A and B are shown apart, each in its own frame.
Chain A
């Protein structure tokens, strides 16, 4: 049976999820191997070096840079408080003295007699990392962080904005084809992760922001509305650092597109669970897609652990989604994978698949198909 390797998004009712929780620089790990952790628990902490400030002492005191040591009241490594005198000239016969005061509280990092400036550093900035998902500490990475392992249901979206977020999962629509309505949102949803169907409008998203809803999972959103949320036109799909109270994960793409049945059903199955989501997306080499992690307890882990033993890649009978016009968003089953190149209406010569959509066969370029990895 012919098959081809095709990218696809994961929609799995079981996956052993491993998350690296790493500090930006070396620090202290607060957990032990084998320990159970909750998503919100701090697992490692450190202090980032403070911001650097430069003060041009020679310029201020109108002296030659090489004379800087004659006027300094501090040396490298000294602690300083904002307002402390750090340099002072002797003035004229002891009169008309002028001085330079520290603009910050911190330490003197270096002094240069070439440029006549002092570099000082703010106080350290404390940084803490939490577990992000509930699970077990599988490994300690000395002074760096931990690897947390979680048995979970796992869904990848196609695009997202906003970083990590957590909350109870709440399904807001009856049907996966339904649009998420603004009227259905209220104060009781604060801190929750809500699931819509095919589409969310800009107005509804804005209301979710006001209500401090932690996240929205939905089929589609309009590309041109992103500008109003982000404050800039999104040119490349690299997201995750936006400071948004409500992370947004699109499971299908831009426009109004029904959420796939597998995704919707899996989310529905886990309604009211505490889930972790991350809108961070990076579409470059080493692609990162947004994700929804739903930790499972031992009883919930399915006997059939799914994808691990299944054949990867597209083959006859595979469930696929068309990801480009003219059949964008349609879901079908691969009928055959002819090996010869075929000419499309655009005259592009491509490898194709014959796909059955609503009981009709269509010829579609294989690169315009996405596998729906379900188990």
Chain B
């Protein structure tokens, strides 16, 4: 069934955003958007009010009647109603979970991966070997009041006592849910199947217990799907039911409401799978930074809960150190003055940079927040730990162990940024430069930003399972993602290898649309921008003998690349980027790189 109109909303902590997607001459396009303050808290305490206000804005802009008697009309004809209505939500702090595992780096980590993948914030990981005493763990569980707990531990048929001991700790804490007093805390058990009866005996009467397949049935296998699905179900059944107005909202939607990051994750997973590419997506918000990646077909998500651009801006400063922030600031500034400025942004989080200096500082902090979040992501997105590897004699000198990061920057095809500081940077060149400086892509990598952060809505659209329009929803989500959601910044080409100042790193031959040939040489520590639009262009890249752009050291690549609003960016800086420590040289280098891509006004 062809869908003529699709309405999707995302209820964030502060703003509810609505988008209208229409089928125009056989093509799905975003046509209108509206937003309004979220109304979960007093005095409204009904999320649907904010949804209706945002949709009303869409109604006014589109001229289509969508609301009648404070309801969304979900049967459409020429100018009335919509075919389907879907929604995501992170209002009220999103889904907050606590996970437990017997061994922190094994079942604990698998449980964390399942919870994060489902779109939750993981408040803490309780493990038998986490170094805390039982009463400390109990106090922690009591104090945190999560929305849900996931317990795992042990392989199927293995030792029972360890995981039962975890359940006993939980029982002693007798945890209460964060929202609402009239229901029992949902607890999912996804551990050793032999322990299920004991777990029921220990926890059954105290919490709302659900038992799913083991998250780690054998050491070599991770089985996250059943836990992730159960988290989504319980999120709908319990947590959302407690949030004001959600019952009503759930009755309006054609697909289950998803936690916002869960929806973004499923979209990124789908795109990586459909297009057979590796992807890194980042959403940098005021309080947290979410990173999603798909490498080797494996999806990972991390939330850096306290790395953000307003509420937790001081934590970026605390974690990265003042010097690391200052190295990106292209002017001299008194350090005490800078810390007070950043502190004032934390306590007044809604302000915007008026002066250029303020913008420099904000974008310097963003680079560090992104860098630190990505570092955490790389440490988390790893292969399974605790597995015995078969080694050959050639591995004898290789010190690698199980649990290595899956993130390989040379393999990365697409890097997508979203969140205010990236999506709303005054110049797109700034977004591109922030992504390159903090993620440090290697080889050939496409760069993009989500124009208005509609990935959550597209994610839930891609996940619609209703038979009659499931397939068409996925098609619509993909089409809109490519045509309207992403702003293609261009492609970054970064050769990797040993080099010294003045070395030639690569030459690139570009066949432009008028068949004109352009040849550009890249030298060490240079940054070059070549303006080409988002169209396929033929290029031949010839790296110098020590350099690699993806095909191997010194190996030429002949391929098609895409430009974008910024174009092709040739990055001749080291990995990690080497910023001179001498203040004068540092300012010169920053200015040179900035001018090369027209990052800031002169």
Please indicate whether A and B come from the same complex rather than being unrelated chains: yes
Q: In whole angstroms, how far apart are the Cα atoms of A325 and B333 in the complex?
A: 14
A229 within 8 A of B: no
Which of B139, B160, B356 lies in contact with A346, CB distance below 8 A? B356
B134/A54 in contact, CB under 8 A? yes
B314/A223 in contact, CB under 8 A? yes
A283 within 8 A of B: yes
Task: Give A277-303 as 1s and 0s: 1 = Cβ < 8 Å from B's Cβ atoms.
Answer: 000010111100000000000000000
B319/A348 in contact, CB under 8 A? no
Hey, which chain A residues are within 8 Å of B179, CB to CB?
Answer: none
**A114-B164, A235-B315, A284-B287 known; A346-B359 Cβ under 8 A:** yes
Hey, which chain B residues are within 8 Å of A328, CB to CB?
Answer: 341, 344
Those of B307-327 within 8 Å (CB) of chain A: 311-312, 314-319
Hey, which chain B residues are within 8 Å of A255, CB to CB?
Answer: 337, 340, 344
**A65-B161, A255-B344 known; A345-B351 Cβ under 8 A:** no
B580 within 8 A of A: no
Hey, which chain A residues are within 8 Å of B402, CB to CB?
Answer: none
Which of A234, A254, A345 lies in contact with B355, CB distance below 8 A? A345
B171 within 8 A of A: yes
A325/B171 in contact, CB under 8 A? no
**A53-B135, A254-B343 known; A347-B427 Cβ under 8 A:** yes
Task: Give B426-438 as 1s and 0s: 1 = Cβ < 8 Å from A's Cβ atoms.
Answer: 1100000000000
**A347-B427, A350-B352 known; A237-B168 Cβ under 8 A:** no
Hey, which chain B residues are within 8 Å of A283, CB to CB?
Answer: 311, 346-347, 349
- Chain A, Cβ-Cβ closest to B316: A235
B165/A346 in contact, CB under 8 A? no
Which of B41, B139, B336, B343 lies in contact with A285, CB distance below 8 A? B41
B172/A324 in contact, CB under 8 A? no
Hey, which chain B residues are within 8 Å of A348, CB to CB?
Answer: 352-354, 359, 424, 426
Q: In whole angstroms, how far apart are the Cα atoms of A171 and B319 in the complex?
A: 38
Task: Give B146-169 as 1s and 0s: 1 = Cβ < 8 Å from A's Cβ atoms.
Answer: 000000000000001100110011
- Chain B, Cβ-Cβ closest to A250: B347
Which of B93, B135, B312 lies in contact with A235, CB distance below 8 A? B312
**A117-B165, A117-B168 known; A364-B354 Cβ under 8 A:** yes
B118 within 8 A of A: no
A-B contact count (CB 8 A): 165
A253 within 8 A of B: yes
Q: In whole angstroms, how far apart are the Cα atoms of A285 and B353 in the complex?
A: 22
Expressed in whole angstroms, the minimum distance between the Cβ of A120 and any Cβ of chain B is: 10
**A109-B172, A114-B164, A324-B348 known; A235-B319 Cβ under 8 A:** yes
Task: Give A335-375 as 1s and 0s: 1 = Cβ < 8 Å from B's Cβ atoms.
Answer: 00000000011111110000000000000110110100000
B14 within 8 A of A: yes
- Chain A, Cβ-Cβ closest to B164: A114
Hey, which chain B residues are within 8 Å of A94, CB to CB?
Answer: none
A82 within 8 A of B: no
Given A52-B138, A110-B168, A254-B340, 6 further pairs, Cβ under 8 A:
A7-B350, A222-B336, A223-B314, A235-B319, A326-B354, A346-B358
A38 within 8 A of B: no
B92 within 8 A of A: yes
B-to-A contact residues, CB < 8 Å:
13-14, 41, 91-93, 134-135, 138-139, 160-161, 164-165, 168-169, 171-173, 198, 202, 287, 306, 311-312, 314-319, 336-337, 339-359, 424, 426-427, 601
- Chain A, Cβ-Cβ closest to B307: A235
Hey, which chain B residues are within 8 Å of A65, CB to CB?
Answer: 161
Classify the secondary structure of B's interface with A.
helix
Hey, which chain A residues are within 8 Å of B424, CB to CB?
Answer: 348
**A109-B172, A117-B165 known; A51-B344 Cβ under 8 A:** no
> How many A residues touch the partner, as a band?
35 or more
Contact sample, A vs B, 17 pairs, CB 8 Å cutoff: A52-B172, A53-B134, A65-B161, A112-B202, A235-B306, A236-B312, A253-B344, A254-B344, A255-B340, A285-B14, A324-B348, A324-B352, A324-B353, A326-B355, A345-B354, A346-B354, A346-B358
A211 within 8 A of B: no
A159 within 8 A of B: yes
A324/B345 in contact, CB under 8 A? yes
Hey, which chain B residues are within 8 Å of A345, CB to CB?
Answer: 354-356
Those of A105-161 within 8 Å (CB) of chain B: 109-110, 112, 114-117, 119, 158-159
- Chain B, Cβ-Cβ closest to A329: B344
Q: In whole angstroms, how far apart are the Cα atoms of A350 and B354 in the complex?
A: 9
Hey, which chain B residues are within 8 Å of A285, CB to CB?
Answer: 13-14, 41, 91-93
Hey, which chain A residues are within 8 Å of B138, CB to CB?
Answer: 51-52
Q: In whole angstroms, how far apart are the Cα atoms of A54 and B166 in the complex?
A: 12
Which of A115, A159, A233, A365 lies in contact with B354, CB distance below 8 A? A365
Task: Give A204-248 as 1s and 0s: 1 = Cβ < 8 Å from B's Cβ atoms.
Answer: 000000000000000000111000000001111100000000000
Hey, which chain A residues are within 8 Å of B427, CB to CB?
Answer: 347
Which of B139, B173, B336, B358 lies in contact with A224, CB distance below 8 A? B336
Q: In whole angstroms, how far apart are the Cα atoms of A277 and B209 in the complex?
A: 43
